[in-house]
Structure 1
Amino acid sequence: MTTQSVKSSVAGAQVSAQSFSASQVFAVWKSNYELFLAAITLVALLIGWLGGSVTQVLPGWAVTMAAVVAFMAGGYSGLMGAIEEARQGRLDIDFLMITAALGAAAIGEWEEGALLLFLFTLSGALEEFAMDRTRKAIEALSDLRPEVAVVRRDGQELTLPVEELVVGDVVLVRPGERLPVDGVVIKGTTHIDQSPITGESVPVYKEPGDQVYAGTINGGGALEVEVTKPASESTLSKIIKLVAEARQDASPTQRFIDRFSQPYTYGVIIATLLAIVIPWLWVDEPFSDTLYRAMTLMVVASPCALIISTPASILSAIAAAARGGVLFKGGAYLEKAAHISIVAFDKTGTLTHGKPVVTNLHPLSGHSREDLLRLAGSAELLSEHHIGRAIVEMAQQEGIPLETPAEFHAVAGHGIQATFERGDHTETIFIGNDKLFMNEKMDFSPAIRVIGDALQKQGKTAMLVVRRSTVEDTLGSERDWEVVGYIAVADTVRPEARATVEALRKQGIQRIVMLTGDNRAVANNIAQEVGIEEVYSELLPEQKVEIVQQLVQEGKTAMVGDGVNDAPALATATLGIAMGAGGTDVALETADVVLMASDLSKLPFLLHLGRRAEQIVRQNVIFSVAVIVSLVLATIVLPIFIPGFYLPLPLGVVGHEGSTLVVVTNGLRMLAIRPQSL
């Protein structure tokens, strides 16, 4: 394999969102030129060998021409790579291969030199073909976004390149089309396939107000989407950019091998020169035999397989992760994932949805469940508080008609009150905690308090709903108080959270910890529900960081957070893993790894991917080193003990190039890994 093809395998995985136009013929040649050169080399080799050495039907000049063609075609790629490196003052593997082939020709073994160049070029072509599978898996991201979009401007519908769209434009998306931009739905409903961005297998329902992403696929509904980001800043564009940067962020193993390869190459050159000089000075053997052995040593000692062993595996692993909705921001983080022994979870937005929902409806005083929801939902209709929105959403989902209050007033930290005009009287709905009703001089019966206390102990926010009617008469106002019931609201646990915790334990994670700023009762309730025993509650952000620092000292720690308020802890951990929430800016910029769909079930997958990648890298390194050592020993040691023995150059070539193909193929197995359902 040539250094040039090694570099193109690694650097070629860098993804560009821009495409180039060229003729089809040139494109085919560009992507397959090494394969064409290898074919030309083989044909010329067979013509010269069969027509010369075997049948002797070709004149000498024809055999020479065939040899020249074979060497020119087979040596072109390696020669270009060697020249490029020489300009920078370096010698590399290409130089070794070209020198070995010329050495074989110099001692009259041109067929073996041509065979070396043929296998060398063919190996580079096959490796490039194999690595292209990984590269295309990543580059496919850049093809997800349409090049043009239909935009409504000044009452007209215009078809414009996506690069010309600006924030605030309204884009029309027809059924079955890919979305060209990130934006918010302002009209229409549909189901959107978000798997290209988030890895979600099931289409997600979208309605006005919902966020949508470039590159996702619209279902059966027509949409109008308001652009919220320029095309260059969309989630898709950021993913493409991060994958490109990930290719440049090599793993520690790869960085070591890269540093090692240059001095090793010089070592091979020195060893080859010694293999020529020492026998020539002290051993009585033909110089042609000495040179032949030295050329064989140069071939078998070349570290092609070792150099490509790591990037082949890392590239494949990152491509498999991206396809599964997990974005690694570099090979270094993939290697870190292999050694995680402690996992720390944030609670809100990570183990839970981060959005409160109504969990309990407890009507009192003869009221029905519908009465409780209708009165509470109407009272909260003008509220902007997340708890109020949860009550309204539940009432609307159940089709309960709501009434807009005449007056609305929020009492900070206590609750709300809403007033409704009923003709001959006024009705006020109070929703809140005990402090709200203390101001109204209302006494609760012990039975009512027991209900509220029980809900609070479950880690829920319990609110009492009370109705007060005010009737004006000649004697003044008359008030009638009535308890309607309790409503409890809580942040619900993600359905996959418990299964994820169990899967992590099966993977051998030694400690699983939960960190939260919430109160102890709520924290313990959530921890018990998901199966976490070690809990730290009522934490300030700086206290989270202190705990993560302590955990890192005790073992390799992954911190999983929502990427917004957990940024310091994510940065402190050995590996920061953010809940992507569909690719939020903060999550993409803060963490080392992003779960694009905020799906906790992908966490065991990413840790397994890291461990599997490390196993395959280790296999490749051990195998490639073992092959090099074996071939070198067979070349220079066995002849000492077995007089007259020599390793044939073609056999050395096959062992060298074959080992390179083996490690590439082994690395590509990472592409087959898929997330498993928990």
Structure 2
Amino acid sequence: MRDAATLERIEATPTRLRVSGMDCASCAAKVETAIRRLPGIESVDVSVATETLTVRHGSGTSAGAIAATLRGLGYGAEDPDAATPGKQAVDLPWWRAPKALLAFACGAALVLAYLVGQVAPATGCWPFLAALAVGLVPVARRALSAARYGTLFSIETLMTIAAVGATAIGATEEAATVVFLFLVGEVLEGVAAGRARAGIRGLTGLVPDTALLERDGATARVPAASLRVGATVLVRPGDRVPADGTVLDGETAVDEAPVTGESVPRPKVAGDAVFAGTVNGDGVVRVRVTAAARDNTIARVVRLVEEAQEAKAPTERMIDRFAKVYTPAVVAVAALVAVAPPLLAGAPWGEWIYKGLAILLIGCPCALVISTPAAIAAGLSAGARRGLLIKGGAVLERLAAVTTVAFDKTGTLTEGKPAVTDVVACGRSERDVLSLAAALEAGSSHPLAKAVLAKAAEVGAPVPPAFEAQALGGKGIAGKVGGIDLFLGSPREVAARAPFAPGEAARVSVLQGEGKTVSVLLANGAAAGLIAMRDGPRADAKAGIDRLAAEGIGSLMLTGDNARTARAVADALGIEARAELLPEDKQGIVRGLRAGGAVVAKVGDGINDAPALAAADVGIAMGGGTDVALETADAAVLHGRVADVARMVELARRTLANIRANIAIALGLKVVFLVTTIAGVTGLWPAILADTGATVLVTGNALRLLRLKLA
């Protein structure tokens, strides 16, 4: 028998809303506090980065009640999925936003008050009271709403107390000016937050609105969002690819920089994958759609980065906890400064109340609270636009501390595609050896067969028809070409059929010692040639390993391949190799490294390396935008460049340095103005400028990460 609480969880309904006007972590805290007070709430997730609220709740609360609560706090609430699939909601220009209009109105009223004061001095403080009311009434209303919904010490509350107190002691002009500066600061926060969001949201605009759909032998222009899996689209030169897909026919070069960060266009032929939003070069290609608009690579990257921005880093959680204690403490200190000197030492009440109000403004926690999430949001966005997907601030902090990177071999340090490296002819020309071998392999899809066929095509060797060709499981392939009995197989199998000449056996041994796979071609029972193949290191693998070493990070290779092949690749890259490992062996090695004090990043394909990826401090999947690369690990290198692992670590370290600088700016300015205020050097204006200025400074500093160059 299930209890009521269990049934409530089972019946919990998710509601997701777009919350406009939410620009900082303080706003998010107010929203979360208010929503949690509603009945039947199971979980609340607020994201400033995406302006979204996700609530799981029981039947006791409706989506309408949640939206009404948000509007009561002064925020907008709407369905985030109301826009066309794959496209973001249209945002108002910053100067048309409600906060900007309020700041303009307050500024105009303040200017008018000064003019009236000059023309009619007898009016006294009344024009400034009117100007103050223009800005303060909406702020006070928001403060009351926040208090009603559970947030007593909001920035609006502090501002309202300070402005009313300043008016009470006759500092009406300053009070009006302080409110105006506060409103300007809110506008700047909104602009900065919008720029940070645009860093990743802009990716959605890369997908074209329309596509040329092939249907019933003709092409028709249709909305790209309507394309279904299996549809065929025509992509002309210069067009953006409208969906993820596979090239059916045609050849071209595609600029994949929007998705992978790759600066050089990649050649594409039939069978190759292409991504939505990439730019077709000079060829016409037909593409079969493999993912709907909501599931294409760009949509998934945006969605995953948005989710990552919601996951708080340890530093951010620490600051949130600090802020909950800090703000009430500031109110207490401000009250103490205002009343203690007059009561205990007979100091002037007006002077010390003024100082207390200034401290109240200095203590606003906005700059401190936004210092970490702003930097993390910018860092994650900067990485995503370069094909470096990092799933959250916690992962980013762990990446910055990495001391050892453990790489898989096949498909990670190597291309994952064997290529012919040596052709040794025995009594025939090398071209003839390739021609006969390719004839046997023509019908096979095995990676080694593809390597032989590719080499034959490269040197222009003809591929004659083979007869009676048959694959002999685990041994090789046999057949006839031009009346010649042929067999292509491993040295061990060939040795069982016909003895090697002394020189041939020695050559096979040398090639195998170099970590190459050797196939031997028999013609009428005698060795006709040797074909050696190897899955060589990626072109950038050595540079990527060297770049990690320059950052003080060690590298090693963990592979299930044989020791000789692993050693050959590792020697070329200058790293340690541990070979012939099962998945659990790799996991054990990673755990051992961590037990020894190393902070380990494991880089692999996200499938057979899953245990080791999970055991590492950070699991990094290598892949060109596949589901596995995007979903299985803590981070993903979408383009598959080894050097991108070093770039990812560099980005993480630069982001952590940015966070430390932001915290120093936020706290440093407060300390300076706290001292100068108590000493009587500064007052209300500098106090609010200190808070607003610090907020703008830390946000601007964080946004520098969007322009970060990672060579």
- 1:151-230 equivalences in 2 (<5 Å): 151-230=213-292
Q: Which amino acid aligns with 2:439?
A: S
Q: Which among 618, 623, 626 is matched to residue 665 of structure 2?
A: 623
- 1:197-596 equivalences in 2 (<5 Å): 197-365=259-427, 367-420=428-481, 422=482, 426-440=483-497, 442-468=498-524, 481-509=525-553, 511-532=554-575, 534-553=576-595, 554-580=597-623, 582-596=624-638
Q: Secondary structure at the match of 1:383?
A: coil
Q: Which among 169, 193, 198 is matched to residue 107 of structure 1?
A: 169
- Work out whether 1:666 is the aligned partner of 2:701: yes
Q: Which amino acid aligns with 1:57?
A: A
Deviation at 1:574, TM superposition (A): 0.6
Deviation at 1:660, TM superposition (A): 2.1
Q: Retained in 2: the 8 A contact 1:15–1:240?
A: no
Q: Retained in 2: the 8 A contact 1:79–1:98?
A: no
Q: 1:232 to 1:151 in 2, by over 3 A?
A: same
TM-score w.r.t. structure 1 length?
Answer: 0.89
Deviation at 1:79, TM superposition (A): 4.6
Give me the whole-angstrom Cα distance separating, in 1, the residues matched to 2:95 and 2:82: 15
657-666 vs 279-288, greater mean Cα deviation: 279-288
Q: Retained in 1: the 8 A contact 2:415–2:538?
A: yes
Give me the whole-angstrom Cα distance separating, in 2, the residues matched to 1:528 and 1:268: 61
Q: Deviations over 1:622-663 (max 9, x none)?
A: 222122223223334x3xxxxxx4632112222222222222
**Which blocks of at least 5 consecutive residues in structure 2 are unaligned?**
1-19, 29-45, 53-79
Q: Retained in 2: the 8 A contact 1:42–1:70?
A: no
Q: Deviations over 1:258-300 (max 9, x none)?
A: 2222222222222233333433432323432232121111011
Q: Secondary structure at the match of 1:492?
A: coil
Give me the whole-angstrom Cα distance separating, in 2, the residues matched to 1:101 and 1:212: 59
Q: Secondary structure at the match of 1:146?
A: coil
Q: Deviations over 1:563-605 (max 9, x none)?
A: 222122111111111112x111111111111111101111221
Q: Retained in 2: the 8 A contact 1:38–1:74?
A: no
Give me the whole-angstrom Cα distance separating, in 2, the residues matched to 1:372 and 1:672: 54
Give me the whole-angstrom Cα distance separating, in 2, the residues matched to 1:56 and 1:338: 61
**Which blocks of at least 5 consecutive residues in structure 1 are unaligned?**
469-480, 639-644
Give me the whole-angstrom Cα distance separating, in 2, the residues matched to 1:105 and 1:484: 101
Q: Which amino acid aligns with 2:515?
A: G
- Work out whether 1:656 is the aligned partner of 2:674: no
Deviation at 1:85, TM superposition (A): 5.5
Q: Secondary structure at the match of 1:353?
A: coil
Q: Which among 57, 62, 67 is matched to residue 120 of structure 2?
A: 57
Give me the whole-angstrom Cα distance separating, in 2, the residues matched to 1:75 and 1:574: 51
Q: 1:285 to 1:196 in 2, by over 3 A?
A: same
Q: Partner of 1:641 in structure 2?
A: none
Q: Retained in 2: the 8 A contact 1:624–1:663?
A: yes
Q: 1:195 to 1:457 in 2, by over 3 A?
A: same
131-140 vs 238-247, greater mean Cα deviation: 131-140
83-92 vs 406-415, greater mean Cα deviation: 83-92
Q: Secondary structure at the match of 2:542?
A: helix
Deviation at 1:80, TM superposition (A): 2.7
Deviation at 1:165, TM superposition (A): 2.4
Instruction: Give the count of matched residue pairs.
Output: 642
Q: Which amino acid aligns with 2:627?
A: D
Q: 1:395 to 1:599 in 2, by over 3 A?
A: same
Q: Deviations over 1:106-159 (max 9, x none)?
A: 222111111211221112222322333322121111111123322223334343
Give me the whole-angstrom Cα distance separating, in 2, the residues matched to 1:121 and 1:504: 46
Q: Which amino acid aligns with 1:450?
A: A
Q: Which amino acid aligns with 1:452?
A: V
Q: 1:359 to 1:81 in 2, by over 3 A?
A: farther
Give me the whole-angstrom Cα distance separating, in 2, the residues matched to 1:25 and 1:226: 31
Q: Retained in 2: the 8 A contact 1:524–1:535?
A: yes
Give me the whole-angstrom Cα distance separating, in 1, the residues matched to 2:267 and 2:617: 36
Q: Secondary structure at the match of 2:471?
A: strand
Deviation at 1:394, TM superposition (A): 1.7
Give me the whole-angstrom Cα distance separating, in 2, the residues matched to 1:27 and 1:591: 36
Q: Secondary structure at the match of 2:639?
A: coil
Q: Retained in 2: the 8 A contact 1:3–1:93?
A: no
Q: Partner of 1:13 in structure 2?
A: 49
Q: 1:593 to 1:433 in 2, by over 3 A?
A: same
457-466 vs 98-107, greater mean Cα deviation: 98-107
Give me the whole-angstrom Cα distance separating, in 1, the residues matched to 2:375 and 2:143: 24
Report the structure number with the largest CA radius of gyration. Answer: 1
Give me the whole-angstrom Cα distance separating, in 2, the residues matched to 1:220 and 1:77: 57
Give me the whole-angstrom Cα distance separating, in 1, the residues matched to 2:238 and 2:633: 33
Q: Secondary structure at the match of 1:236?
A: helix
Q: Partner of 1:40 in structure 2?
A: 105
Q: Partner of 1:477 in structure 2?
A: none
Q: Retained in 2: the 8 A contact 1:127–1:661?
A: yes
Q: 1:659 to 1:78 in 2, by over 3 A?
A: farther
Give me the whole-angstrom Cα distance separating, in 2, the residues matched to 1:215 and 1:607: 27
Q: Secondary structure at the match of 2:234?
A: strand
Q: Which amino acid aligns with 1:5?
A: D
Q: 1:401 to 1:116 in 2, by over 3 A?
A: same
Q: Which amino acid aligns with 1:501?
A: I
Q: Retained in 2: the 8 A contact 1:37–1:74?
A: no
Please report the RMSD computed on the Cα atoms of aligned residues, expressed in angstroms. 2.5
Q: 1:558 to 1:664 in 2, by over 3 A?
A: same
Q: Retained in 2: the 8 A contact 1:359–1:489?
A: yes
Q: Which amino acid aligns with 2:630?
A: L
Deviation at 1:432, TM superposition (A): 1.2
Q: Deviations over 1:386-430 (max 9, x none)?
A: 10111012212333221231222112222211223x4xxx32221
Give me the whole-angstrom Cα distance separating, in 1, the residues matched to 2:83 and 2:290: 28
Q: 1:178 to 1:526 in 2, by over 3 A?
A: same
449-458 vs 292-301, greater mean Cα deviation: 292-301
Q: Secondary structure at the match of 2:415?
A: strand
Q: Which amino acid aligns with 2:490?
A: N
Q: Secondary structure at the match of 1:27?
A: coil
Instruction: Using CA pairs under 8 Å that are at least 6 residues apart, name the structure with larger relative contact order, 1 or 2.
Output: 1
Q: Which amino acid aligns with 1:35?
A: A
Give me the whole-angstrom Cα distance separating, in 1, the residues matched to 2:290 and 2:433: 39
Q: Partner of 2:75 in structure 1?
A: none
